[in-house]
Amino acid sequence: MTHPRLNYDKISGDYNQRYPSAFHWDRGDALLELARQLDAKSILETGSGTGYWLNLLNRVTSQLYGLDFSAGMISQAKSQPAPLKLTRGTATRLPFRSGSFDLLYCVDAVHHFGDHAAFVEEAFRVLKPGGALAVIGHDPHGDDFDWYFYDYFDTVYETDLRRYPSSNALEEMMKRSGFHDIERRNVEHVMSVHEGGQVFNDPFLKQNATSQLALLSRETYDAGIEKIKADLKKDSRKVFKSDFWVRMVLGMKPEHV
């Protein structure tokens, strides 16, 4: 399956703007709870980016491994307070020994991995018996999904449908790879409503803030912004909504394999 690739090296310097210090993330709580529940001693994040979530997990263990494709993102992750063991590589061919980790997770990254099934198989291999795989992110295939980006920016929705595995598809891949006790948890409700010109205060509307917009050409991005402005001319109090769930799809590697 071919899909457009975003060069994270280019945006790595700005990436942490999405994590303002005052903001509380429910998906972080869900990750912490899972790591505690598993009593995880060694944890790997694939697509670890700037290391924001790994740093949070330092409350549970110091054996924190991050793997990312982008040298720029890895270089940013080195500035996290927690000491992280960072490797450059690809999630579909993990450079780790079989049976190494108690928990392997990814956040907002699986849609970049291309061959999702190969990633799930690799995750199964590098987990210890009894370990867990958690894939966290949104599912644009769901019908409970309302994001104004999809209405205004051409090709974004179609591209997301191609890039993202649905939660059902992920569960199937986990089953096929040998995981059991597979479940789906809603871990964070993304809900923001911008009225009228306030929409331009949405930090995610900047072109480099999400891969959805960063993948667009300048012309397509500008055309979307113009469509928003045209609608605001017709209705200055128009509401722009982001309303969807971030899900965790979770699978356990059996104790005896």
Ligand X SMILES: C[S@@+](CC[C@H](N)C(=O)[O-])C[C@H]1O[C@@H](n2cnc3c(N)ncnc32)[C@H](O)[C@@H]1O
CB of 238 to ligand X, least distance (A): 28
How many residues touch ligand X under the rule CB under 6 A: the total is 20
Q: Nearer to ligand X by C-beta: 27 or 253? A: 27
How many Å apart are CA 160 and CA 163, to the nearest integer? 5
The reply to whether 101 sits near ligand X by the rule CB under 6 A is no
Which 3 state secondary structure label does DSSP give 253?
coil
Residue with tokens 């790879």: 177
CA 228 to chain centre: 26
Instruction: Compare residues 44 and 67 and give the one whose CB is closer to ligand X.
Output: 67
Three-state SS string across 79-148, please? Answer: CCCCCCEEEECECCECCCCCCCEEEEEEECCHHHCCCHHHHHHHHHHHEEEEEEEEEEEECCCCCCCEEH
Using the rule CB under 6 A, is 107 a contact of ligand X?
yes
CA angle 136, 110, 28 (to 5 degrees): 25
Q: What angle do CA 155, 159, 165 make, to 5 degrees?
A: 155
Q: Which residue is nearest to ligand X (CB)?
A: 49
Residues 208-227 close enough to bind ligand X by CB under 6 A: 211
- Residue 96 within binding range of ligand X, rule CB under 6 A: no
Interacting span for ligand X (CB under 6 A) from 48-56, 140-148, 179-187, 247-255: 48-56
Is residue 152 a contact point for ligand X (CB under 6 A)?
no
Q: Are 67 and 123 in contact (CB under 8 A)?
A: no
105 binds ligand X (CB under 6 A): no
Residue 63: CB minimum distance to ligand X, A: 18
Tell me if 73 contacts ligand X by CB under 6 A. yes
Q: Which is nearer to ligand X, 128 or 138 (CB)?
A: 138
Distance CA 13, CA 25 (A): 21
Site string for ligand X, 159-198 (x = CB under 6 A): ----------------------------------------
Q: Say if CB 187 and CB 27 are below 8 A apart.
A: yes
Binding site for ligand X (CB under 6 A): 8, 46-49, 52-53, 67-70, 73, 90-91, 107-109, 112-113, 211
